């Protein structure tokens, strides 16, 4: 199992894991075609050519993990992209 498979498994674990860093998720999402555009402050706009809307996600200080609502948004976006790729 590769590094990105492990990150995907953590993102889609039930119950939702609260122990995943922004940096790891950003690397994983970029590897599957998402683009991160820096906005004001710590915000990023996250886009994908198959996604009809951008996500807004906050980067966190090193060592801090993503919030539950951010994980939910990321999961939904990945699922939508995967569904459209089929």
Say how far apart CA 38 and CA 26 lie, in whole Å: 12
The token pair at 21 is 């860093």
Give mean pLDDT, residues 64-81.
Answer: 91
The mean of the pLDDT values for the chain is: 89
pLDDT at 1 over 70: no
pLDDT at 62 over 80: no
Q: What is the CATH number of the domain that holds 79?
A: 3.30.920.30
Domain count, the chain: 1
pLDDT at 76 over 70: yes
Range of the domain at 77: 3-85
User: Prior bond to 15 cis, omega within 30?
Assistant: yes
The token pair at 9 is 């498994």
Radius of gyration for the alpha carbons in the chain, expressed in angstroms and rounded: 12
Instruction: Kindly list the distances between the CA atom of residue 71 and the CA atoms of 75, 86, in Å, as whole numbers in the listed order.
Output: 6, 23
Tell me: the pLDDT tens digits for 12-44? 988 877 788 888 899 999 999 999 999 988 899
């Amino acid at each position: 199992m590769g590094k990105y498979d492990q990150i995907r498994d953590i993102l889609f674990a039930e119950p939702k894991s609260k122990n995943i860093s922004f940096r790891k998720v950003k690397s994983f999402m970029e590897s599957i075609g998402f683009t991160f555009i820096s906005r004001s402050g710590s915000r990023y706009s996250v886009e994908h050519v198959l996604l009809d809307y951008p996500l807004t996600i906050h980067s966190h200080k090193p060592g801090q993990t993503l919030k539950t609502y951010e994980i939910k948004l990321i999961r939904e976006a990945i699922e939508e992209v995967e569904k459209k790729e089929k």
